[in-house]
Chain A
Amino acid sequence: MSFLKFLGLSSHGKSARIARERLQIVLSHQRADGGDEDFLPKLRNELITVISKYVKIEAEQINVQLQRSGSYSVLELNIMLPTHAHDGEVIIAD
């Protein structure tokens, strides 16, 4: 029994680790959903508006995520530009 506990294999001994793992999963979803970082949808829309002034872009080409880790947060912006956009050309929609 005590040997099992030492290995972390007894049912009691496992529960804190299970709690930690379940929390990490549920919080990654909670944070990805925006949680209460409720400026993210607005930020995304404004980014689309600004970028659309210069480059034709679809809403789904912008991905905005906020991830908290350690003592800082990372705002991750992923913007897929159409080809040639880096030349500063304005792409006209067909």
Chain B
Amino acid sequence: MGKSESKIIVVTSGKGGVGKTTTSAAVGAELANRGYKTVVVDFDIGLRNLDLIMGCERRVIFDFVNVIQNDANLSQALIKDKRVENLYVLPASQTRDKDALTKEGVERVLADLQKEFDFIVCDSPAGIEKGALMALYFADEAIVVSNPEISSVRDSDRIIGVLNSRSRRSEQGKEIKKHLLITRYAQARVNRGEMLSVEDVQEILAIPLLGIIPESPNVLNASNRGIPVTLDTPSDAKRAYQQAVARLLGEASSDDKSWISKIFAGIQLFNRSPV
């Protein structure tokens, strides 16, 4: 008997280094903060990093692949966060290769997680190979993370195509709900014409905007210390992630213009100092 509203959300991008793991940790922690029982699952087999960003690297004993191969059960592999009630991490294996993820295995583990959790956040590896395909295949919704930079936007377009054609929902003829999250945004550079604007990226990718995370030193500071941005001290990035989660939950105002302009107003303030 699963949780009736249990939702699988993949955080994906195609390109590496755009902020998938940072986003998975921040979104997962904020969902848990709001009382939803949440697990963040690392699909980057062989290159696990979610444990570091979530600050639980020294508590990893069993991992996702151990559970798939029945060497451990879920309760042994799940790491409970010490800061927030309701937040768990399922770490990736550091030693195996991505072929350890079988479709049947992933399906079984996700089905078991759905019995326990309100939200399952799947942190995808970069690329469009097996690990990334497994991370997105069973998803109900996708957060497409993109930097305002050409190679990132191009890869996001590719991954949107993959979501539309190679996810389970697409195979069932259903739509997979896609959200655009623009990260490392620098309004001052956009104003100077040096960076693609939110409107440019959104027009090109043509999926609804979930949020804009400003370029911020707080993000590196948080990952240095193993703290999800949304559990860290207040910052513009934290606030932007909180607003993105509110939108993900359908809580934000229906007037898109107003929330976008509010975010812009915030970014403008932070960028007032000379760069």
Which one of B195-203, B214-222, B246-254, B262-270 is at the interface?
B195-203
Determine whether A8 belongs to the interface, using a CB cutoff of 8 Å to chain B.
yes
- Per the bound structure, the CA–CA distance linking A70 and B202 in Å amounts to 9
Closest residue to B162 on the A side, CB-wise?
A36
B152-195 vs A, Cβ < 8 Å mask (1 yes, 0 no): 01100110111011100000000000000000000000101111
The number of inter-chain residue pairs (CB within 8 angstroms) is 65
Which of A12, A16, A26 has a CB less than 8 Å from the CB of B196? A16
Closest residue to B161 on the A side, CB-wise?
A36
Please state if B158 and A15 are interface contacts (CB–CB under 8 Å).
no
Closest residue to B164 on the A side, CB-wise?
A37
The B interface, classified by DSSP as helix, strand, loop or mixed, is helix
Which of A13, A26, A30, A39 has a CB less than 8 Å from the CB of B193? A13
- Per the bound structure, the CA–CA distance linking A30 and B195 in Å amounts to 22
* A14-B193, A16-B194, A17-B193 known; A35 vs B204 contact (CB < 8 Å): no
Q: B-contacting residues of A (Cβ < 8 Å)?
A: 5, 8, 12-17, 19-20, 22-24, 26-27, 30-31, 35-39, 68-71
Q: A-contacting residues of B (Cβ < 8 Å)?
A: 128, 149-150, 153-154, 157-158, 160-162, 164-166, 190, 192-197, 200, 204, 206, 208
What are 30 A-B pairs at a CB distance below 8 A?
A: A5-B192, A12-B193, A12-B194, A13-B192, A13-B193, A15-B193, A15-B194, A16-B193, A16-B194, A16-B200, A20-B200, A23-B153, A23-B154, A23-B196, A23-B204, A27-B204, A30-B154, A30-B157, A31-B157, A35-B157, A35-B158, A36-B128, A36-B158, A36-B162, A36-B166, A38-B166, A39-B165, A68-B160, A68-B206, A69-B206
